[in-house]
């Protein structure tokens, strides 16, 4: 039997310490595209993702939230709107999801730790150093940047504890060799950074502290109570425990280990490219074939960590633009190996240019014309001719020559047709080359090059002009539409890894059955039957009005900012006491509003004419025009302090002050004039 080749790919397992943002989705979407691509190519794929649930940060956050660490992580991982929900929404086709709190993983980590201890690679010592709590990383003085954590730039603290150490130093030479002399780590630009900063640095590769005693939320070291396993050792081995390493839960090691690719963000390349292979060397295990360190999505220059307050919510974005548009944007707009600047404007632009204008337009124009001119069914005989099929074949075998094209004598339009055929038939090979190197942006560039070519082909052939004389040009028109459908089909097959749901819809519109959606068919020409049935469907990617949309997004962000502020804040109580006699000197009276108006040229002031019971009107000015309309207040019974010395405001005397209650709601100041029972007569003293 011909067994399928296997392919094992992983994402980092995420810290469930808060909501995931678009930066997290970036890596997972890329991994998903790769997994779908490999499935399309016929591989038996294992796509692993999960959550990294131990460590001091989680313990602290749980304490702050008043729940147990397990409750805390359960709430972020499995609750509605949590990690699992997000991956479902983003159409992430993972095959396995590991949580490092899963029993089988905990059991495996304990066995692994003991094995490394038994083989002498883990030993007990004491640790003195600088510790970055959010990153859960110990650093030496020389590794700090401006005295701060080199990964996240935050303050570090002095820390000392009895701890177990992993003899990383023992593996320095082998890891250096792995990095410098193999393709283990990519992009290559990251290799020297790793070797120079962590192996060939002053003091060489340091042994790694792999246990903690200062908190308890971790995998307990079973032979030394009080110690928990360092999160990174715990987390890195997820890639193997999830296949059944040191546990009975799964049995997939033989099939899937070593991993074909670990996708990781650039800041955790150090753990994956240095300690991970060293751990595996210590255990005598095969090394993964590739670690790919992708860049960060920055948002206005910042990595979008929650702590820097720049979160962009993937739930919200996919609700507004559709999951496929968001997935596509992430891989189309940024080269995977480098940083990219995420802006809402770029997102909308990409959707409008690539999806609405180029792809959407091509599909809707082609299907609309097939319906309009042929009732959705192209006539017999309009399919690929012999020369076209032959050109496609030669392109596939990389044997194309100009001779074949010029042989296609007779038809003046033949050259235009063959150019399109050649581009479409050659697309798969170009795309494959890029996908194999994780160059998603380039792969998509290739596809969109052909899509643009096809749009140009419509203009070159002007089907609307051909349609004016169907008797003379009907066959040509049908052939033009057939060529367009074939081009759409080839491009759509190659877009499956990026936009699976939209591709299904396009296939349905162009009448492509299962056999016309395969990897093999993407390098062939003439796969759709000539009499294919076409149905124009809904507009797949509606154009977005940029200005309007940006305004709405601003308003949403403003609202979100407000929602994050405390619901209610009142002023702190005064510490200083006032003696009773002083207090009694304040003369509070009930007053009735006889008239109220805005003060000219003042946005704030209202001018009150008040009955204070003395028989003479009292005038008070109050800075509350943003809270009340003057006419609302006429007739109300208010409270005023009446023995303050008069003050001039905007040239008018204010004789006293009206009493209000003030507080802050979601960051906005609120004010309520104190209004009392209308039965209280004007001038009544309040005491």
Q: What are the residues binding ligand ME8 (CB under 6 A)?
A: 12-15, 23-24, 26-27, 52, 235-236, 238, 264-265, 267-268, 296-297, 303-304
The minimum distance between CB 167 and ligand ME8, in angstroms, equals 21
Q: How far is the CB of 49 from ligand ME8 (least distance, A)?
A: 10
Which is nearer to ligand ME8, 236 or 478 (by Cβ)? Answer: 236
Q: ω into residue 510 within 30 of 0, thus cis?
A: no
Answer for the pair 215, 228: CB distance below 8 angstroms, yes or no. Answer: yes
* Collapsed DSSP state (helix, strand, coil) of residue 294: strand
The residue among 265 and 463 lying less far from ligand ME8, judged by its C-beta, is 265
Q: Which residues pair with 660 in a beta bridge?
A: 673
- Long-range Cβ pairs for the range 580-584 (8 Å, 24+): 584/687
Q: Could you write out the DSSP letters of every residue in 596-624?
A: EEEPTT-SS-EEEEEE-SSSSEEEEEES-
Q: Which is nearer to ligand ME8, 234 or 486 (CB)?
A: 234
Which residue, 288 or 656, is less far from ligand ME8 as judged by CB?
A: 288
Give the C-alpha distances (Å, rounded to integers) separating 109 from 57, 164, 234, 283, 546.
20, 15, 6, 12, 51
Q: Which is nearer to ligand ME8, 49 or 455 (CB)?
A: 49
User: b vs e for 293-309, b when ≥16 Cβ sit within 10 Å of the residue's Cβ?
Assistant: bbbbbbbeeebbbeeee
- From residue 414, give the alpha-carbon distance in Å to each of 381, 390, 461, 621: 16, 13, 11, 86
275 DSSP 8-state letter = I
Q: Which is nearer to ligand ME8, 279 or 373 (CB)?
A: 279
Nearest-approach distance from CB 563 to ligand ME8, in angstroms? 22
CB of 268 to ligand ME8, least distance (A): 5
Nearer to ligand ME8, 12 or 360 (CB): 12
Residue placing its CB nearer to ligand ME8 in the complex, 305 or 619 = 305
Burial of 23 (0-12, 13-18, 19+ CB in 10 A): buried
Residue 200 Cα distances to 179, 192, 209, 273, 293, angstroms: 12, 10, 19, 14, 20
Q: How far apart are CA 78 and CA 80, in angstroms?
A: 7
Least spacing, CB of residue 149 vs ligand ME8, in Å: 14
Task: Scan for tokens 């970036």, then name that residue.
Answer: 26
Q: State the DSSP code for 462.
A: -
Q: How far is the CB of 24 from ligand ME8 (least distance, A)?
A: 5
**Shortest Cβ 374–ligand ME8 spacing (Å):** 47
Q: Is 591 helix (H, G, I), strand (E, B) or coil?
A: strand
CB of 526 to ligand ME8, least distance (A): 42
């Amino acid at each position: 039997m011909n067994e399928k080749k296997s392919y094992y790919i992983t994402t980092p397992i995420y810290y469930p310490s808060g909501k995931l943002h678009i930066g997290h989705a970036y890596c997972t979407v890329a991994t998903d595209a790769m997994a779908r691509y490999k499935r399309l190519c016929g591989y038996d794929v294992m796509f692993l993702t999960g959550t990294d649930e131990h460590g001091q940060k989680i313990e602290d956050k749980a304490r702050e939230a008043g729940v147990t660490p397990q409750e805390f992580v359960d709430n972020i991982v499995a609750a509605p709107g949590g990690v699992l929900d997000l991956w479902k929404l983003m159409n992430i086709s993972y095959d396995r999801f590991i949580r490092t709190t899963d029993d089988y993983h905990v059991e495996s980590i304990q066995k692994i730790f003991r094995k490394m201890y038994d083989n002498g690679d883990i030993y007990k010592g004491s640790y003195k150093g600088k510790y970055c709590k959010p990153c859960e990383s110990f650093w030496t003085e020389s590794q700090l940047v401006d005295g701060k954590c080199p990964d996240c730039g935050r303050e570090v603290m002095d820390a000392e504890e009895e701890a177990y150490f992993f003899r990383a130093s023992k593996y320095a030479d082998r890891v250096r060799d792995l990095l410098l002399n193999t393709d283990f780590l990519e992009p290559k630009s990251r290799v020297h950074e790793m070797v120079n900063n962590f192996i060939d640095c002053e003091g060489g590769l340091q042994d790694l502290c792999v246990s903690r005693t200062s908190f308890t939320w971790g995998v307990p070291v079973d032979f030394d109570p009080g110690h928990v396993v360092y999160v990174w050792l715990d987390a890195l081995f997820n890639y193997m425990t999830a296949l059944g390493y040191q546990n009975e839960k799964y049995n997939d090691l033989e099939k899937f280990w070593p991993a074909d690719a670990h996708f990781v963000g650039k800041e955790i390349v150090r753990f994956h490219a240095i300690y991970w292979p060293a751990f595996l060397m210590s255990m005598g295990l095969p090394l993964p074939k590739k670690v790919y360190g992708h860049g960060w999505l920055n948002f206005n220059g910042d990595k979008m960590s929650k702590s820097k307050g720049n979160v962009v919510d993937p739930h919200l974005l996919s609700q507004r633009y559709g999951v496929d548009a968001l997935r596509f944007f992430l891989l189309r707009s940024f080269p995977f190996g480098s940083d990219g600047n995420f802006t809402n404007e770029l997102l909308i632009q990409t959707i409008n240019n690539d999806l609405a204008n180029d792809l959407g337009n091509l599909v809707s124009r082609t299907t609309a014309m097939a319906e309009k001119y042929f009732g959705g069914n192209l006539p017999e005989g309009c399919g690929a001719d012999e020369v076209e099929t032959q050109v496609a074949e030669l392109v596939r075998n990389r044997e194309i020559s100009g001779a074949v094209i010029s042989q296609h004598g007779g038809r003046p339009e033949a050259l235009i047709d063959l150019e399109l055929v050649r581009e479409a038939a050659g697309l798969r090979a170009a795309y494959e080359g890029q996908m194999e190197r994780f160059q998603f942006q380039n792969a998509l560039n290739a596809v969109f090059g052909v899509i643009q070519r096809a749009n140009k082909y419509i203009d070159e052939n002007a089907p609307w002009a051909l349609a004016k004389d169907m008797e003379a040009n009907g066959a040509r028109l049908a052939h033009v539409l057939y060529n367009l459908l074939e081009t759409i089909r080839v491009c759509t097959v190659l877009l499956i890894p990026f936009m699976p749901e939209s591709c299904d819809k396009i296939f349905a519109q162009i009448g492509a059955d299962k056999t016309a959606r395969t990897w093999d068919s993407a390098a062939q020409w003439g796969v759709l039957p000539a009499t294919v049935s076409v149905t124009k469907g809904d507009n797949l990617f509606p154009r977005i009005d940029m200005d309007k949309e940006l305004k709405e997004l601003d308003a949403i962000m403003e609202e979100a900012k407000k929602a994050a502020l405390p619901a209610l804040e009142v002023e702190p109580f005064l510490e200083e006491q006032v003696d009773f006699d002083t207090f009694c000197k304040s003369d509070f009276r009930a007053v009735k509003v006889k008239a109220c108006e805005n003060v000219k040229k003042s946005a704030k002031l209202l001018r009150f004419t008040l009955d204070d019971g003395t028989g003479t009107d009292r005038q008070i000015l109050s800075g509350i025009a943003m809270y009340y309309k003057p006419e609302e207040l006429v007739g109300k019974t208010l409270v005023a302090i009446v023995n303050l010395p008069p003050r001039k405001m905007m040239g008018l005397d204010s004789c006293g002050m009206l009493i209000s209650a003030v507080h802050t709601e979601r960051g906005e100041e609120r004010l309520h004039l104190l209004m009392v029972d209308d039965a209280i007569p004007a001038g009544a003293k309040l005491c």
